[in-house]
Amino acid sequence: MTDQDDKTEFKLSEPPFAAWTVYTHGPLAVPLLNHGDRFDQTVYQDIETRESDFTVISKAKALQYLPKRKESVTISVGIEKQTNIKVGSQDSADLQGVCFKYKKGYVINTGGSIWGLDFVPKPTFEAEQYVQYLAVAGYPGTNDEHHNVGEIQEPGTVANCIQIWRMDLRLRDTPNNPTSKPKLDLCITHDLGISLDGQTILPRLGILAVAFGDGSIRIISVPHPDGLRRRANGGVLEATSKKSDTVYIHLKEELATLSIPETCMTTLSWGGPYKLAAGCSKGSVSIWNVETAIRNRVGSNKKTAKEDIASVVVCSVRAHSTATRSVTYHYPLDPDGHEIASSGHDGRVRLCDDRDPWTAATVWKNRGFLHTVDWPMYTDAVLFPDVERVLRSTRTAPNSEYGVSKKLVECRGDIWQISSSYFHPFAAMATSDGWLKLNNAFHGNKRGEKFSTINVYRLKKTEVQHKYQYVDSIKDSSLSSKRGATGESLYYLFLDPEVAIQRCIWNPNRATCGWIASGGAAGLCRIDFVGSGKDWLKDLS
C-alpha cells in the first residue's frame, strides 16, 4: 500500500512496501509507514505538573549544575572543503550555508559526555509539526570522566543537568519565517548523579523517564518552557528577545521514583504510556506499572517507599548473568508493546514477552559485551552487534534462507547504539571510533547482493585542544569493500575515547522522521537530515 492517507497494513515477515528493498541512499519521503492514530492517544491528562515539583532558578545559580567544560569548541566541517566554526558552551551552529551547500544539519555543544538522547514525540494533531524538542543528558565531564557499570552514587554528591533543546526542523525557509538554529530552551538541574539513559513520552512537553547514577529511574513531568515564561510574566508570553532566554529549573520532586535495593538500573524502554522495562546492573530486566506509580507518586514518601515500589514492580526476571546493557520493546500491531529484546555483558541477546516473562529465549550468544539491541516495529528481525563489531540481523520466525543470522554492516569500533525508525527501513549505528552509519536491512535480501552502508560522518580529534573534525561523506559503502576503504589498518584496536559516538536516535514524528540526532564522549551532538529525494520538501503533516 503506497497511499499515505490510509493506515499502512503490513506483515512482519516481509517489508511493508516493495520499494523498501531498493533504498540505498537514505530514507525517502514516499512511501512512509502510516500508523494512523495509534500514537496519538491522550494520556495522563489529569496528572498535573505541580509548582512544588521544581523551582525556577537563575542562570548564575544553575552554573554549578552545568557540564564542566565551559570553553568554546572549534569544529572543522565540510564535504569538499573544510570550514572551521566555533561553538560556545550550551550553544549551537547551523551547518547549511557555512559548511554545506545543500545538506541540512546542526551541531550542539552540550559540554558533557552524552549517554541519554531522545526526541519528544508529538501527536499529529498538534500545530507546528516541524518544531521539535531534544532531551540530552549524560556525564558532567567528557572523556576525563568514567564510571563503572553498577556504580551507585549517593544523591547530593554529583551536580548535573538535563538539557532540552528546541529546534526548527523545516527543510526550507519562508520569507517571513526563516529557520533558526537549535537553542537551549529548558535546563533541568539536579543532584542525582550521572544520567545513564532517558526516553520521553507525551503529554505536556513530555513525561521523561531517566536512569540516574543513584541507581533509580525517575519519572519527571517536564513543564513547557513557554508556560514557565507566561507564568513569570503574569500569563503573557514575553517579548521575542526574552523568548530566546533559557529557562532554568531545579528538580525537587518527581512524579515517581522506581528503584531496586542495591541495584543500578542502566537502561530503559517505554512499552506504551503505562509500562516501562528497565535493564539492571545485576542482569535482570524489570517491568514496571508506570500508571500506578505516577498516580500514587511512588517513592515520594520515604517511610513507605519500599512498600509503594513493591506494588508497582510487575516482575523482575534474570535475563543475563551479568549487567543488562540494552532493552527495547517491540511494537508490531498495537501501541502497547509486549515483546522485549535485551542484550548484556554476557554476550547474549534474549527475547521475552511481558505477559509471560519467565519463558525467555536466547537468540544469540558470543564471548564479549553486547552494548545494544534493537527490534524494528515493522519486522520480526532483531538487530544487534556481535563480538567482531558486525551488525547482524536474526529472524524470530522460521527463515530457511539465512538460518540463524545474516551480516549487515562491518565496523572497526564497537557499536554503542542501534536505532531504527518507526516510519522507514533505515537503522542507525553509533560507534566507538566516531562513525555514524545507516543501513537498510531490507536491501540485500537476495543471495549474492551486497549490503549497502551510508557513512553519515566520522568525528576525529585534532592535536589542538578543544578542536574536532567532522568527515562527512553521505555515500554508499558496500560490505565487501568497506574495511580498509579509507586507507587505515584493518587492525583498528587503539581508539581515542573522546571521538566515540555513544548515542543516536531517529526523530519519532512522521513529518520530521528524516532527521537523526547523535552524540558522544566529546559532548557534541549532531542533528542531521539524511532523507533522500525531493518529496521531503512537500508538507507531510
Q: What is the DSSP string of 107-137?
A: EEE-SS-EEEEEEPP--TTSS-TTEEEEEEE
Tell me which long-range contacts 328-332 makes (C-beta under 8 A, separation of at least 24): 328/269, 328/373, 328/374, 328/375, 329/269, 329/270, 329/271, 329/272, 329/277, 329/375, 330/375, 330/377, 331/272, 331/377, 331/422, 332/12, 332/377, 332/378, 332/380
State pLDDT tens for residues 232-284: 665 554 544 355 689 999 999 999 999 988 889 989 999 988 999 999 999 99
Split at pLDDT 50, 70, 90, the class of 495 is low
Report d(CA 537, CA 179) in Å as an integer. 14
Split at pLDDT 50, 70, 90, the class of 346 is very high
State pLDDT tens for residues 157-201: 788 999 999 999 999 888 888 889 999 999 999 998 878 777 776
DSSP H helix total and E strand total for the chain: 6, 34
Tell me the residue range of the domain where 337 lies. Answer: 18-537
State pLDDT tens for residues 4-23: 445 666 677 788 888 888 88
Split at pLDDT 50, 70, 90, the class of 307 is confident
pLDDT above 80 (res 378): yes
Cell numbers 552524540 correspond to: 519
pLDDT at 489: 41
Examine residue 467 and state whether it is found in any structural domain, yes or no.
yes
pLDDT above 50 (res 364): yes
- For residues 374 and 420, is the Cβ–Cβ distance under 8 A? yes
Give me the mean pLDDT over the 18-37 stretch: 87
pLDDT at 46: 84
Examine residue 4 and state whether it is found in any structural domain, yes or no.
no
Range ranked top by mean pLDDT from 316-320, 470-474, 485-489: 316-320
pLDDT at 445: 56
Report d(CA 136, CA 185) in Å as an integer. 12
Split at pLDDT 50, 70, 90, the class of 73 is very high
Examine residue 68 and state whether it is found in any structural domain, yes or no.
yes
Cell numbers 519500599 correspond to: 306
Domain count, the chain: 1
pLDDT above 70 (res 444): no
- Residue 401 class from Cβ within 10 Å (0-12 exposed, 13-18 middle, 19+ buried)? exposed
pLDDT at 476: 38
Examine residue 128 and state whether it is found in any structural domain, yes or no.
yes
Query: What b/e string do you get for 61-96 counting C-beta neighbours within 10 Å, with b at 16 or more?
Result: ebeebbbebeeebbbbbbbeeeeebebebbbbbbbb
Report d(CA 264, CA 305) in Å as an integer. 17
Examine residue 1 and state whether it is found in any structural domain, yes or no.
no
Split at pLDDT 50, 70, 90, the class of 302 is low
pLDDT at 453: 85
Examine residue 409 and state whether it is found in any structural domain, yes or no.
yes
Give me the mean pLDDT over the 44-54 stretch: 84
- Average per-residue pLDDT in the chain? 84
Provide the percentage of residues in the chain whose pLDDT is more than 90: 48
pLDDT above 80 (res 447): no
Q: Which sign does the torsion angle of CA 305, 310, 313, 316 carry?
A: positive
Examine residue 285 and state whether it is found in any structural domain, yes or no.
yes
- What is the CATH number for 84? 2.130.10.10
Split at pLDDT 50, 70, 90, the class of 481 is very low
Report d(CA 149, CA 152) in Å as an integer. 9
Examine residue 168 and state whether it is found in any structural domain, yes or no.
yes
Split at pLDDT 50, 70, 90, the class of 434 is very high
